[in-house]
Structure 1
Amino acid sequence: MSTEALLATCWTTAGDAAPGRGDGRSPLSLRERAEAAGAAGFTGFGLLHTDLAEAERAYGLAGVRSLFEDNGLRHIELELLTDWWADGPRRAASDAVRRDLLRAAEALGARHLKIGPDVTGGPWDPDVWAEEFAVLAAQADGVGARLGIEFLPWSNLRNLHDGLRLVEAAGHPAGGLIIDAWHIERAGTPAAELARIPGSRIVGVELDDADEHVIGSLFEDTVRRRRLCGEGSFDLPGIITALRAAGWSGPWGVEILSDTHRALPVSEATKAAYRTAAALLG
């Protein structure tokens, strides 16, 4: 099994919750989730903004930090900020989330914040995006965290190269990419290309698997039909080898999203996610 750190991303421990369903809030308490992750072997934990707000009300940020520490969860990821490029009411709502995430990142000693691209298909200005990303990266850096953007095949940042172009244009050392195996494979990016990414631009990695063919939309396929690592068609050994060649040594995120995974008790789901990813990492 792996001796490297593994991070349970937010959906891996969320139980019956999913992106695109209401505000994504987990029906489980943070204590239940943190204990399941720690017991499974994870040393990292991801938390969605809506769950973070709920946990802060229940335990206070100091209590949340203690809960993570008590369960051996040292690598903390907070997500997800969108509309950070927008203006008007959307930007005002986004800025409120930004303030929450930055404040919590500092209090929890989070390693990084995860942000998303634009999935609406609207027009966008790469220069404005680079400028806004640099500002946000500097703010993350100011609270001791890094900033990672996740490219998505159905967004304005469709693949690895789109994402890299943005973070290089922004130029801030705290900014980089969140690289999800699902998005690499579904965008048709050869695993070997990951080896050429500057190691300093990799902020986070997410491992998962899926069947060879997409069923339904890309969004539906990614939310409902991911598989445990090693149980699908992805070239995960190739992806892991290439990322190691680029200089990545963890923590390795594990992001399992599926109807099957959500139906399991969290302790069982979390153990399966850890066991299968750790076996691949060797």
Structure 2
Amino acid sequence: MSTPELVATCWTSAGDVAPLDVPEVSPFPIEERVRAIADAGWVGIGLGQDDLRHVRDTIGFAALRSLIDDVGLRHVEVELASGWWRSDLKWRGTWELLLDASTQLKAEFIKIGAAIETPLDDITPLVEPLRRLADEAAAVGARVALEPLPFGLVGTIPKGAELIRAVAHPAAGLLVDYWHVFRADTTLPELVASLDAGIVFGVELSDAATDISGTLFEDTIHNRRLIGRGDQDVEGFIRAMREVGFDGPWGVEIISAEHRQRSLVDALTAAHDSTLETFARAES
């Protein structure tokens, strides 16, 4: 097997900042982050909405895209849009920021979520809103990748696949994060049966202890481990996504109190190298 292409998703390189911090802005200058990601062997970068606002208001998206090109990164992801199913327009500001960032940075997709709420049994109310969102994205050459969350309206990957197939739009697909596979108690055979390569826009690798610490949300933002350093079957997940037909690049999402205390170089090196070691075991 060839060496997998790995993307440092936004939290993997963000440093001492966590989801729902106000603001969610990395303490590392964006230029330092981009160069460190490239130097550590990654092929791509992910950036969250507050970092993107900071970039827009300082060096600008054009300068960031130029830097990304200069260091040789080939893959960009932007996140996170939520609230898109609501009738109020409070979510539009972030959505329009992400559309602009996606266009100027030539992002592969815009990651979207579906709130911290009780999962829906019937996803029908989300079909038309998501189709409209995909229409808006397609109009500027962008795509949206929905990330199901066990504590969100779309609670499992199979339910997310059901929604994407109902939307039936080429600009709408799934982001399959392994954390939200095992924490939703979705088995790997169930995962494979629910997916096909055409609806999977991105995959993220995570690892963790068997037991949940605190709430599901607290666990997901404080306790992820380096790939292959936890108790989850990451190797089996890699093989399962290969069976589905996914051919990368693979995002790596390390969100934890421990990871936030690492230096930028140490964080990126540890996350990259541990992931490659896991791929070697998965493909041996």
TM-score, scaled to structure 1:
0.94
Tell me if 1:19 matches 2:19.
yes
Match of 1:3 in 2: 3
Residue-by-residue CA offset, 1:32-55 (whole Å, 9 max, x unaligned): 111111111111110001101101
Q: Offset at 1:239?
A: 0.6
Match of 2:152 in 1: 155
Which amino acid is 1:182 matched to? W
Which amino acid is 1:133 matched to? L
Residue number among 98, 102, 105 corresponding to 2:102 in the alignment: 105
Counterpart CA distance in 2 for 1:223 and 1:210 is 11
Retained in 1: the 8 A contact 2:228–2:274? yes
**5+ unaligned residues in a row in structure 2: which ranges?**
none
Residue number among 260, 275, 280 corresponding to 2:278 in the alignment: 280
Match of 1:174 in 2: 171
TM-score, scaled to structure 2:
0.94
- Backbone CA RMSD of aligned residues: 1.7
Match of 1:200 in 2: 198
CA distance 1:37–1:2, change in 2 (3 Å): farther
Q: Offset at 1:104?
A: 1.5
Retained in 1: the 8 A contact 2:119–2:151? no
Which amino acid is 2:191 matched to? L
Q: Offset at 1:208?
A: 1.2
Percent identity over paired residues: 41
Tell me if 1:72 matches 2:72.
yes
Query: Which portions of structure 1, spanning 4 or more consecutive aligned residues, are displaced by more than 4 angstroms?
Result: 122-125
Counterpart CA distance in 2 for 1:69 and 1:251 is 17
Retained in 1: the 8 A contact 2:123–2:154? no
Counterpart CA distance in 2 for 1:224 and 1:192 is 28
Retained in 2: the 8 A contact 1:49–1:78? yes
Retained in 2: the 8 A contact 1:194–1:239? no
Q: Which moved more, 1:134-143 or 1:32-41?
A: 134-143
Counterpart CA distance in 1 for 2:220 and 2:2 is 26
Residue number among 139, 142, 148 corresponding to 1:142 in the alignment: 139
Counterpart CA distance in 1 for 2:2 and 2:84 is 36
Aligned residue for 1:93, secondary structure, equals coil
Aligned residue for 1:59, secondary structure, equals coil
> Paired residues, what number?
279
Residue number among 260, 265, 268 corresponding to 2:266 in the alignment: 268
**5+ unaligned residues in a row in structure 1: which ranges?**
none
